[in-house]
Structures are given as structure tokens and as C-alpha cells.
């Protein structure tokens, strides 16, 4: 067993190096299989499938992708190579997939940022609904409203009252423009009817560090990052931003329970392929996604991340498309109201 994993480690290293060299050699001219978009896909998949993650390796989105890649590959009977194409809030990687050959061999994993990018960026180079086919939703990660431990307000209601009275003093941290924490913070301000001084950081880690250190007052962040700090009493938690409480923090009320129902947000993830990908390939990918999400190992690993796979009926192109449409509307309004532009 141990030798197996060692062998796998070695094999993967070699595969990665090989893929890297190949990719460099072809200078992005990959996917040169015999089939072209819209053609016969009876044999799909007969070559490696690339999963593009538009964020850095090891981040939450990357972790989720690698979790589902293995069972999906097994179901599809093809190797899945995860590739991180970072930059500009995920828009670089998404743009690359939008321009890729629509043959089912280039797949994009993206999160809530897919629905916020059109409002945040000009000259995006793609449109979420027009440039992609939706494959299916993957998971929805809840967020929490947390503050430095010596921050005065005791409940979410108190917090709203306090920040309204002290809007010129309170600081609201986030992990950068367009980050989930930023969006959640915007929604908080809309729901509470207040405009606060935001303090952007480069990523969640530094922001949470300064929150624990008492340098900033409060922020929103994914349960994954905050639950350890909450249970250790290093930060004060007010609410979780989903309709239901989370298992890892059973005592924490939802925003609706705590009296701020307008603050509902989760970091939802979904798979996409370029527009024009044959329906047959989309269906096969969606089926493989459902299989992966039902895999007990995936369920367990996601539970450790404080989340869960979406129900099977959400892992479909239709459900995903509906969610995307709804979210595009929500965020277009919130972001326009806040007057935010990333470029």
C-alpha cells in the first residue's frame, strides 16, 4: 500500500514534468487531437482532459478540483491534468478556457467569481453565459462574520448598531477586490445600510492574521479558514451566511436567525466548458461529476473543509445555468450600487 502511493507519487511527478515540458514545447497549442468541435464524439474521451483552475495551486478552489478530479477521471476513463492559470481574480484562466477548442478536453473550474467578473471588469474578453457551457455545480462553501476578540458588539444585531454609530472608526477587512470576503462585506454593508472603510489584503491569510492581531475590526471569511480561530476564541463570531447552520460550528446562528436575512452568500463552485462543446461530452462530464460527488471519499474530504457536495440534481448543466443567471443579476446590482470597478 505504501509502495503504491510512493509509486503514484513518482508517477505523478514524472507526468507533471512531462506535461510541463510538452506544454512548453507546444507553447499553448495543446489539444491537437483528431476530433474538432461539434464533430463525432463517440470515442470521448480518448485523450487527457485538462482542468483549468484560475487560482493558485493549493487554494480552496484548487483543493476542491483535485478532490473531484480523481474519481471523475476514473469514471471517464481518461487522465485529468489539473492546471493552475492564475491572475486578475480568475479572469485570466477563464478567458483562456473561453478561447480554447470546444472539444471537451479543456474544462474550467470556477467559483462565485464567474458571476461577479462582468460587473467588476471591463473588457473581460468573455461573457459567462455566452462563452461557456455549464456542466454542473460542485459545492457551496459557507462564510462567517467574524471580529477581533475584543471588539465590543456581542451579537450580529449589536454589530449592525455599532458600525452604524461608528462608521467613521470601524474597519472592515477583506482578501482583495472581488474576493469572496469582499463580496460578503459588500453584501453586509447593503444589508445593514451602512458604508464602511474597507481594508483590502492580498489573500485571506494576511487579513485573518491582522484580525487575530487586533489591527482591524471585522471581516467575512470562509468557514474553512475561520472555524479553528473561532473555536479557540481568537476571533469573535457573529453568524454564518447560509440558510442552515454548519456542522462544524453548531452554536453559531445563521444570518437570518441573527436578524440580518439580506446577508446570504456562499462560495459556490461549478465546472464549465467552452461554448460549442458537443452536448454528448458535456453530459459525460456532468455524469462523471455526479459520480465524483457521490464518492464517500469526496464527501469526507469536503466535510473536513467545512462543506459538502451539492445534491445530485444541482450537478447538472441546467441547475448550474440557473444559479449562474441568478447570481449574475444579484452581483451586478450589489457591485454597481457599491460603485466598485476592478479595471
Partner 1 sequence: MDLLENLALGLSTALLLQNVLWCFVGVLLGTMVGVLPGIGPTATVAMLLPITFSFEPVTALIMLAGIYYGAQYGGSTTAILINLPGESSAAVTALDGHEMARQGRAGAALATAAIGSFIAGTVATVVLAVAAPPLARVALQFGPAEYFALVLFGLIVSIALARGTALKALAMIFLGVLLGTVGQDIYTGTPRFTFDQRELYGGIDFVSVAVGMFGVAEILRNLENEQTRTAIVDKVRNLWPTREDRRRIVAPILRGTGLGAALGVLPGGGHVLASFTSYAVEKRISKRPQEFGHGAIEGVAGPESANNAAAQTSFIPLLTLGLPAHPVMALMIGAFIVHGITPGPNVITDEPALFWGLIASMWIGNVLLVLLNLPLIGMWVRMLRIPYQVLFPMIILFASIGTYSLGFNAYDVYAIVLFGLLGYILIKCGCEPAPLLLGFVLGPLLEENLRRALIISRGDATVFLTRPISAVLLALSVAALALSVLPAIRKRREQVFTEDE
Which residues 126-155 are close enough to bind partner 1 by CB under 8 A? none
Q: How far is the CB of 328 from partner 1 (least distance, A)?
A: 19
Phi/psi-derived region of residue 27, left when phi > 0, alpha when psi is between -120 and 50, beta in every other case: left
Taking CB under 8 A as the rule, does residue 125 contact partner 1? yes
* CA pair distance 233, 228, nearest whole angstrom: 9
* CA pair distance 216, 174, nearest whole angstrom: 10
Please count the CA atoms within 13 angstroms of the CA of 124 that sit on its side-chain side: 24
The residue among 26, 24, 139, 19 whose CA lies nearest residue 81 is 19
Cβ neighbours of 152 (radius 10 Å): 11
Among 48, 66, 257, 332, binds partner 1 (CB under 8 A): 66
Which residues 37-56 are close enough to bind partner 1 by CB under 8 A? 56
Taking CB under 8 A as the rule, does residue 13 contact partner 1? yes
Among 147, 305, 334, 338, binds partner 1 (CB under 8 A): 305
Taking CB under 8 A as the rule, does residue 318 contact partner 1? no
Among 9, 26, 165, 294, binds partner 1 (CB under 8 A): 9
Judged by CB under 8 A, the stretch of 61-69, 137-145, 283-291, 322-330 that binds partner 1 is 61-69
Among 60, 104, 309, 317, binds partner 1 (CB under 8 A): 60
**Sign (positive or negative) of CA dihedral 225, 201, 235, 331:** negative
Among 67, 76, 119, 252, binds partner 1 (CB under 8 A): 67
Please count the CA atoms within 13 angstroms of the CA of 111 that sit on its side-chain side: 26
Taking CB under 8 A as the rule, does residue 21 contact partner 1? yes
* Distance, CA of 333 to chain centre: 20
Among 209, 259, 261, 294, binds partner 1 (CB under 8 A): 209
Among 35, 45, 62, 258, binds partner 1 (CB under 8 A): 62
Judged by CB under 8 A, the stretch of 152-160, 225-233, 258-266, 308-316 that binds partner 1 is 225-233
Sequence-ordered strand ranges (E) for 175-263:
197-200, 218-222, 235-240
DSSP 311: P
* Count of residues interacting with partner 1 (CB under 8 A): 73
Q: Which is nearer to partner 1, 66 or 325 (CB)?
A: 66
Which residues 237-266 are close enough to bind partner 1 by CB under 8 A? 248
Q: What share of the chain is helix, strand, coil (3-state, %, to 5)?
A: 45, 20, 35
Which residues 85-114 are close enough to bind partner 1 by CB under 8 A? 85-88, 91-92, 95
Amino acid at each position: 500500500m505504501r509502495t503504491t502511493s510512493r509509486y503514484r507519487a513518482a508517477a505523478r511527478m514524472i507526468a507533471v514534468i512531462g506535461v510541463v515540458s510538452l506544454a512548453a514545447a507546444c507553447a499553448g497549442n495543446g489539444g491537437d487531437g483528431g476530433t474538432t468541435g461539434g464533430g463525432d464524439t463517440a470515442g470521448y474521451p480518448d485523450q487527457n482532459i485538462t482542468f483549468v483552475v484560475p487560482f493558485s495551486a493549493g487554494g480552496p478552489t484548487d483543493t476542491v478540483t483535485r478532490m473531484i478530479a480523481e474519481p471523475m477521471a476514473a469514471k471517464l476513463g481518461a487522465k485529468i491534468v489539473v492546471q493552475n492559470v492564475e491572475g486578475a481574480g480568475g479572469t485570466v484562466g477563464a478567458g483562456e478556457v473561453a478561447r480554447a477548442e470546444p472539444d471537451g478536453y479543456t474544462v474550467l473550474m470556477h467559483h462565485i467569481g464567474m458571476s461577479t467578473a462582468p460587473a467588476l471588469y471591463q473588457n473581460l474578453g468573455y461573457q459567462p453565459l455566452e462563452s461557456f457551457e455549464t456542466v454542473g455545480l460542485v459545492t457551496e462553501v459557507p462564510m462567517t462574520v467574524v471580529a477581533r476578540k475584543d471588539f465590543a458588539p456581542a451579537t450580529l444585531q449589536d454589530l449592525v448598531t455599532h458600525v452604524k454609530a461608528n462608521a467613521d472608526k470601524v474597519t472592515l477587512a477583506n482578501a482583495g477586490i472581488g474576493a469572496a470576503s469582499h463580496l460578503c462585506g459588500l453584501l453586509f454593508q447593503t444589508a445593514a445600510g451602512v458604508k464602511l472603510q474597507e481594508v483590502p489584503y492580498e489573500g485571506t491569510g494576511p487579513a485573518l492574521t491582522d484580525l487575530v492581531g487586533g489591527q482591524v475590526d471585522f471581516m467575512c471569511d470562509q468557514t474553512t479558514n475561520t472555524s479553528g480561530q473561532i473555536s479557540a476564541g481568537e476571533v469573535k463570531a457573529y453568524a454564518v451566511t447560509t440558510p442552515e447552520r454548519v456542522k462544524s460550528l453548531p452554536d453559531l446562528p445563521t444570518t437570518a436567525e441573527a436578524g440580518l436575512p439580506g446577508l446570504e452568500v456562499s462560495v459556490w463552485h461549478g465546472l464549465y466548458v467552452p461554448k460549442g462543446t458537443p452536448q454528448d461530452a458535456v453530459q459525460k462530464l456532468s455524469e462523471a461529476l455526479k459520480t465524483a460527488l457521490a464518492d464517500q471519499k469526496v464527501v469526507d474530504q469536503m466535510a473536513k473543509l467545512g462543506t459538502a457536495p451539492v445534491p445530485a440534481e444541482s450537478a447538472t448543466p441546467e441547475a448550474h445555468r440557473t444559479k449562474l443567471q441568478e447570481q449574475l443579476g444579484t452581483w451586478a446590482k450589489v457591485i454597481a450600487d457599491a460603485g466598485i470597478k476592478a479595471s
